[in-house]
Amino acid sequence: AQSVTQLDSHVSVSEGTPVLLRCNYSSSYSPSLFWYVQHPNKGLQLLLKYTSAATLVKGINGFEAEFKKSETSFHLTKPSAHMSDAAEYFCVVSDAGNQFYFGTGTSLTVIP
């Protein structure tokens, strides 16, 4: 069975400092992993996806995520937070049957 745990429901960082949003997954298969961002009153936008071609995945807006099979983790990082990064972030795992399993989300606050 597939599942996702986002370890922090809220993260606050100062503008210009690094961002770390943590995600652990459970999967019976070689997983497909995604991060989505949702700005207030908006839909969900794909940030990046793990394709098994490389363990370090680069996404849009300077975000990256590293797949660590031994730790079953897929943490999202960004070297320097921007005010526009304030949003809700979802870690998602999918299985071979195109079923998607969502974490409960991490709300990122960026302090000026």
Partner 1 sequence: NAGVTQTPKFRILKIGQSMTLQCAQDMNHNYMYWYRQDPGMGLKLIYYSVGAGITDKGEVPNGYNVSRSTTEDFPLRLELAAPSQTSVYFCASSYSGQANSPLHFGNGTRLTVT
| Contact positions vs partner 1 (CB under 8 A) | 9, 32, 34, 36, 41-46, 49-52, 90, 92, 94, 98-100, 102-105
Structure tokens at 34: 């995604």
Nearer to partner 1, 5 or 77 (CB): 5
Q: Cα 110 to the chain's mean position, in Å?
A: 17
Contact 7, 105 (CB under 8 A): no
Shortest distance in whole angstroms from residue 55 CB to partner 1: 14
Strands 106-111 vs 10-14: parallel, antiparallel or unpaired: parallel
